[in-house]
Structure 1
Amino acid sequence: MAIALSSDDVKLYYETTGEGEPIVFVHEFAGNMRSWELQVRHFSRRYRCITFNARGYPPSEVPEAVSAYSQAQAVRDIIAVMDAAHVEKAHIVGLSMGGFAALHLGLNFPERALSLCVAGAGYGAEPDRRHQFRQESEASADVLLSQGMEAFALRYTQGPTRQPFKHSDPRGYEEFVNMMKTHSALGSANTQLGVQRERPSLYELGDALAKLQVPTLILNGDEDWPCLAPGLMLKRAIPSAALSIIPNCGHTINLEAADEFNRVVGGFMAYAASGRWPMRDPATMADTITGMEQARK
């Protein structure tokens, strides 16, 4: 492991494996750098894979103040890891919380991204669910601080979007739950309050999304209901976006369907690196179904 120093002097632990074009993997709230093991084993044969633990996830440092955690700081932490690893540009692959961070990196530091994979991003983004999501984030923090990490992990991993993983891969799901139990209760609570609860809704980013030109893949499981509508919105809003859906799959798609995830992401990155990734033709967004309405007029 190596250490990156964040913009506010928080130590972030990261690892690099393999050689080639760099990929930075950004983990979800319930995961950590080890969550990407099935991707690192696959992609490190041809790429330089960089994984790290977000702040609040030991052995990275756990700042005690909620104010040290935010969506903007999560992006700055990715940049800090890239700088420490001497990486100027990379493919950024993020899941859920990491998918939000990957997208915001593309919006704020497009010059640092070869491509963006925004996977499983959408929790709490829909305007009519913002209040509910903020309440659930606060409830999560309360359980973490009052009952501890193990009790919280057992409850959190029983959520509706984790059920497909639980049923399709009982052994993998058990490993996932046990890994989450090892996280810091304080770091997880602060992440819920500072990052999850306070991040801007994707639906508030319309103007910025419309300007994004970095090759972008929106990737979701078809049983990950909180992310499906936001995923369609991102596809419509981002002119450089492609959308892919993995069937019979929930939120933890890089573990539930690792082979399909690796295939889709690998093909996307190769296409993006070719220099021929397409920007959407505005004609495809015309307000007609078949195009024959113009003919009738």
Structure 2
Amino acid sequence: MPYISVEEDQVELYYEDVGEGVPVLFIHGVWMSSRFFKNQTEHFRKDHRIILLDMRGHGQSAKVHHGHTVANYARDLHSFIEKMELKNVVLVGWSMGAFVVWDYLQQFGDDNVKGTVIVDELASDFKWEDFPSGTFDFPTLIHLMREVQNNRVGFLTEFIPLMFKEELDPKDFNWMLEETTKLPESVASAILFDQTVVDYRDQFKNIKVPTLLCFGRAEKLIPVEAGVFLNEHIENSHLVVFEDSCHCPFLEEAEVFNEVVTEFVQSL
């Protein structure tokens, strides 16, 4: 299995790399993994180079207990891109992955980024005084942190179905539960906290690369209004709403999602 050591601490990250052409790099959400993009590989490898990456601690990457902040994940991503000698990449960030993309642009600029795809994420997950549309207030965050520590499987059993508009097939639920419990609880709560309190509203004015915004119509987790906000504040962005999806259009409407993203990549 392919692994690569990144950053100064030489943490091994798992990745998959197939196809040729423009590199399209997919970055998963918090606690998730590259396995969630299983419906993208065959489609994108036909005309592009598709790369799926597990962030440190997630999926099949090394289960280290340090470095679990969005900013450090962005540094891992930068190290990965440099070591793989990738040029003019398209970064696809889903949920927390969107934060990793925005932090990457904030730290390293867009010289090597051809475009970005943001899938179902807010400017910040936290309900700040001047940003009431965030998902979590402080009492909710405290509750989630404690659930991760004391009742993770019970919590995920309720949370995972919220990512989907339709009822989840038990087989799909089982592999998703398996993926989301691969992280140690200490890591799971650490990155949950950091990814909840990051805030990229001030960063949007600096984003100039073409941006595709993909949001699900079903609002169990993230409102479509979040996509409208991004569309209004990120120059050169385009919003697409997936009518039969919630948080995971790449799984719920894989064929449509793949075509929309392919069209965007080819337009760059």
Q: Does the 8 Å CA contact 2:164/2:245 hold for their aligned counterparts?
A: no
What is the CA–CA distance in structure 1 between the aligned matches of 2:252 and 2:134, rounded to whole Å? 27
Residue 51 of structure 2 is matched in structure 1 by 50
How far apart are 1:217 and its partner, in Å?
0.6
* Partner amino acid, structure 2, of 1:231: G
- The AA in structure 1 aligned to 2:156 is A
Larger Rg: 1
Letter in 2 for 1:154: T
- Report the CA distance shift for 1:131/1:41 in structure 2 as closer, same or farther (over 3 A): closer
- Deviation string, structure 1 residues 99-156 (Cα, Å, up to 9, x no partner): 22223323442112111001111162561255834443432232222234x3332132
Q: After superposition, where does 1:52-71 map in structure 2 within 5 Å?
A: 52-65=53-66, 68-71=67-70
Matches of 1:62 and 1:174 in 2, distance apart?
21
Q: Aligned residue for 1:291?
A: none
Larger helix share, 1 or 2: 1
- 1:136 maps to a residue whose letter is T
Q: Which residue of 2 aligns with 1:176?
A: 176
Partner of 1:97: 96
**CA-atom RMSD in angstroms:** 2.4
Q: State the shift of 1:53 in Å.
A: 1.0
1:1-297 matched pairs, under 5 angstroms: 1-65=2-66, 68-108=67-107, 109-122=109-122, 124=125, 127-130=131-134, 132-148=136-152, 150-159=153-162, 162-166=163-167, 171-194=171-194, 196-200=195-199, 202=200, 204-205=201-202, 208-224=203-219, 226-272=222-268
Task: List alignment gaps of at least 5 residues for structure 1.
Answer: 273-297
- Residue 268 of structure 1 and its aligned partner are, at CA, apart by 0.6
AA aligned opposite 2:17: T
Structure 1 vs Structure 2: percent identity of aligned residues?
Answer: 20
AA aligned to 1:234 is L
Question: TM-score, normalising length from structure 2?
Answer: 0.87
CA distance in structure 2 between the partners assigned to 1:177 and 1:230 by the alignment:
27
- Assess if the C-alpha contact under 8 Å between 2:43 and 2:258 holds in 1: yes
| Superposition deviation, residue 30 in structure 1 | 4.3
The amino acid of 1:249's aligned partner reads: S
TM-score by length of 1: 0.79
Q: Provide the rounded CA distance (Å) in 2 between the counterparts of 1:5 and 1:163.
A: 33
Q: Could you report, residue by residue, the CA deviation over 1:192-224 in whole angstroms, capped at 9, with x for unpaired residues? A: 123x23311x4x32xx32232101111100113
2:44/2:50 contact within 8 Å kept: yes
Q: Deviation digits for residues 61-84 of structure 1, max 9, x if unmatched?
A: 33325xx22221121121122122
CA distance in 1, matches of 2:149, 2:114: 39
Judge which range, 215-224 or 12-21, deviates more.
12-21
Could you say if the C-alpha distance between residues 235 and 226 of structure 1 is closer, same or farther in structure 2, counting changes exceeding 3 Å? same
Query: What runs of 5+ residues in structure 2 fail to find an aligned partner?
Result: none
Aligned to 1:292: none
